[in-house]
Structure 1
Amino acid sequence: MGERRPGMVFEPRSVVSVPSAFGKVHESIRPAEGFDRTDHRYRAATIQHMIAHMVHTQLRLRGQTLPQFLATAPDVPGFSPDRQRRMLRGETAAQFADLAFWASVFPQVAAGVAEYITSWIPKYTERGSASQPE
């Protein structure tokens, strides 16, 4: 039997250095101790942090609170107000459906997440060898 590796189930806010800043600050949050910037859990948490921050920012620009938005949100299976609050706080992991929903409401979400994911692609030097992004 091989080495047991951590699974995909994790609390997103627990893999960043300042869990209380999750979704609240514009800047990215450094990885928590034991994680690095290339860890798939940190990258997923960063995407979720970006979504949460952009959702809160866009709602504020609309003059709307999250509870107000959720009270009028479409009746979508799996889109409960309680789950969305936990997801936006980083207490429960986002799903692709969450990303798709919020990106349809706020296109900035899609653009920001796409830009971040694109940053993972190795850059090529003049000699043609790949170098890892920072």
Structure 2
Amino acid sequence: MKYEPRSALSNPGGFGVLPGAIPPAADLTTSDLRYQGAVLQHAFARRVRLELVSAGKKVSSFVRDFEGDRNLDAARVRRVLRGATSATIEDFAFWGAQFPGVWRDLGLVPQQIADLDARRAASGVGPPPPRG
């Protein structure tokens, strides 16, 4: 059977929706890498969902603008966001490029964002407040 990240959580239905970390499924511990990966993807999925809502977009209308890009069909994105399939590095890169708060929430701040924040700080303007 194919692994689903949401299966590593005690509340699979809360994947990508509930705030914070969801405890591990009964057969896992917090040190299990499947659980740790699921928590990371859960946080990623939740932030992407919040960003889409904030932008007034649905998955299908948002990804339509990027048709032809690898792994960007709406059905697959929905599966990733609900934890039915694993996210890829490309998913993290794509969504972080669209919504920098995704990277920031996960502690994956690319150099461009760090440089922008440094310029803002140097000019006396702090980084924007977190969204969502």
- What TM-score comes out, normalization by structure 1 length? 0.73
Answer with 1 or 2: which has the greater Rg. Answer: 1
Query: In structure 1, how many angstroms separate the alpha carbons of the residues matched to 2:86 and 2:10?
Result: 17
Aligned alpha-carbon RMSD (Å): 1.5
| Alpha-carbon distance in structure 2 between the residues aligned to 1:43 and 1:96 | 16
Q: Structure 1 regions of 5+ residues with no counterpart?
A: 1-8, 116-134
2:23 to 20, 30, 33: 30
1:96 aligns with 2:80: no
Long gaps (5+) in structure 2: 109-132
For 2:32 and 2:101, the matched residues in 1 are separated by 25
Q: TM-score, normalised by structure 2?
A: 0.74
Among the aligned pairs, what percent are the same residue?
A: 35
Mapping of 1:1-134 within 5 angstroms?
A: 10-114=3-107
Partner of 1:118: none
Number of residue pairs matched by the alignment: 107
The 2-side partners of 1:96 and 1:38 are apart by: 22
Runs of 4+ in 1 over 6 A off after TM superposition: none
